[in-house]
């Protein structure tokens, strides 16, 4: 599997540390950690990651879904939402690459990364919902 450059938007320190550790253990490069939507947009502009994993509720009350849509539109950075509340229909309507259900599992994270990698390499199916 290709190693991706990934931006992570997560305001829960414990979840962020665990997620970044799992990504690094799989050989991916975490280009930065954003705690707010504005931080994610700035990070995506500066680093141009291959992918963003985005919690939909971020610090300062910012909307991770809106930030994910913005980085997709402005920088063509595909985003996968990490949420226990967002529906598949909402993720699809937002144009997201996929939805990783929280609390996520290692197997779920692996599956969404494999699906994202396949899509980035020219595949047609999006990994929409991963439990």
pTM score, whole prediction: 0.92
Q: Mean pLDDT across the chain, nearest whole number? A: 91
What CATH number should be reported for the domain holding residue 33? 3.40.50.2300
Checking if the pLDDT of 17 tops 60, the result is: yes
What are the helix (H) ranges across the chain?
13-25, 37-47, 64-75, 88-93, 106-120
CB-CB contact of 98 with 53 (8 Å): no
Tell me what percent of the residues of the chain surpass a pLDDT of 90.
Answer: 65
pLDDT, tens only, 88-111: 888 888 889 989 988 888 998 998
Pairing of strands 129-130, 5-9: unpaired
Q: Which residues contact 48 (CB under 8 A, 6 or more apart)?
A: 5, 75, 77
> What is the Cα–Cα distance from 84 to 81, expressed in whole angstroms?
10
Report how many domains make up the chain. Answer: 1
CB-CB contact of 95 with 66 (8 Å): no
pLDDT, tens only, 48-65: 999 999 999 999 999 999
Range of the domain at 101: 5-130
Q: Identify the residue with better confidence: 115 or 21.
A: 21
């Amino acid at each position: 599997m290709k190693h991706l450059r990934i931006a992570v938007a997560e305001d829960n320190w414990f979840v962020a540390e665990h997620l970044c550790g799992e990504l690094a253990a799989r050989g991916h490069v975490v280009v930065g950690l954003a705690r707010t939507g504005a931080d994610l947009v700035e990070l995506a502009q500066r680093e141009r990651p291959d992918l963003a994993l985005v919690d939909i509720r971020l610090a300062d009350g910012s909307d991770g879904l809106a930030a994910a849509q913005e980085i997709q539109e402005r920088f063509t950075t595909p985003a996968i939402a990490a949420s226990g509340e967002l529906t598949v229909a909402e993720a699809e309507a937002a144009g997201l690459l996929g939805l990783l259900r929280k609390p996520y599992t290692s197997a779920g994270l692996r599956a969404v990364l494999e699906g994202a990698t396949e899509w980035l390499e020219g595949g047609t199916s999006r990994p929409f919902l991963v439990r």
